[in-house]
Structure 1
Amino acid sequence: MHKAYSPGKKISILLKTCKLIYDSMALGNPGKPYGADDFLPVLMYVLARSNLTEMLLNVEYMMELMDPALQLGEGSYYLTTTYGALEHIKNYDKITVTRQLSVEVQDSIHRWERRRTLNKARASRSSVQDFICVSYLKPEQQSRTLASRADTAAQALCAQCAEKFEVSQPQDYRLFVLVDGRCFQLADEALPHRIKGYLLRSEPKRDFHFVYRPQDSGKDASSQPCIVVREPNFL
């Protein structure tokens, strides 16, 4: 999990781990339905035997940066459960009664819930406008989620990509967007976040990927040179 970059991938790994825990529990007593009360102690046991420092960092990372669209789903439930289990382990005191620890954990979760509610509008806006996923050379290859202002131009975003992907000759690279198999090169002054927002709102929904790659490789599926675009309404 610690090697995964995006909050979404980390949550996906967390869900797979929770499923493995449930599957392991089922092996001991096939056919018996297990609920949250059965799952939580086993989860705490697994966490206690893991690298707690890394887990705490990963959980806080996911809670702060996860897509607001996922906050009501299964991922959010297990993330909150994991956070509560970690807080319980972190604050564990053999002398202190369990009831007191439970109150502390609940208070910690409530603080996060309040902060998440207050920041929900801003977080929702950020997920569309302030973060952009860029792949290196090919779609969905070595993808990185880059944080930038909504008015960041493609040229500035290319500079971020050059640093993130550690390219040796950044002057030869450009930012492209592949939409349903068609390739478009973003002009230096184009606004990637604006283009992303336009594509997300378009009907019917389109499959698109931002790709950072050498300018010479800028061809679409039909081997035609990519069109250079500035405004989002290029389709």
Structure 2
Amino acid sequence: MLYLIGTGLYYLNDLPLRAIDVISSCSEVFIERYTNLNDITFIEKLKKITGKNIEVIGREEVESSFITDKAVDKDIALLIPGDPLAATTHFSLVEECYQKNIAVKIIHASSIFSAVGETGLSIYKFGGTTSIPIYTENFHPESFFDTIEKNINCDYHTLVLLEVRDEKNFVKPIEAMKILKTIEEKNNKNIIKWDSVIVLSQLGSDSQTIKIINEKDINNIKPPCAVIIPG
């Protein structure tokens, strides 16, 4: 059996209580941290509570048959930041399990998709979510702007997730702002209300940030981050 377990927004205390018993009973336990980050003490504290080794795996393992091959004849737990079904990657795992006749159990948890309500914006007014990846020399996608434009045309807000790989390698809000402004200028589209864009950082933590974007005071914001483009 495969257990997909949401870890919640940030701290170990955000992990659903029933997940502790499940993790303790599984043969192997894995956690992915490429879709989001938990508190840096999360893994070590969970190891002490459950007595289990918790192996960090990356996108390559999650998107291959690595997990499902193990779950054929063993109980396997995969811990996922936020809610386990918030990312399309994990839907693929569920589909693969169905194809291999592997039982799947989902343990849901809090995620950014409900936490954005702290901004005062209604969840019902959000359109499609998109994300800005880390740019490299030969990788400069712009498709996320299409989602933003579509939402704005419908008077919907857009939650824009900013890619994070670790505490030092992530898309900073100031970088996201520059990317979006560059795309706007290149396509002669002045559609984003910059005086209303909201920056989110480490939601659910004691140091969470929710503020209107400002180039002067968002340089030191810590991951995980996101921005909201109001409709």
Verify same fold: TM over 0.5.
Answer: no
Q: More relative contact order in 1 or in 2 (CA 8 Å, sep 6+)?
A: 2
Q: Rg: which structure is higher?
A: 1
TM-score (norm 2): 0.29
What TM-score results when the alignment is normalised by the length of structure 1? 0.28
More strand by percentage: 2
More helix per residue: 1 or 2?
1
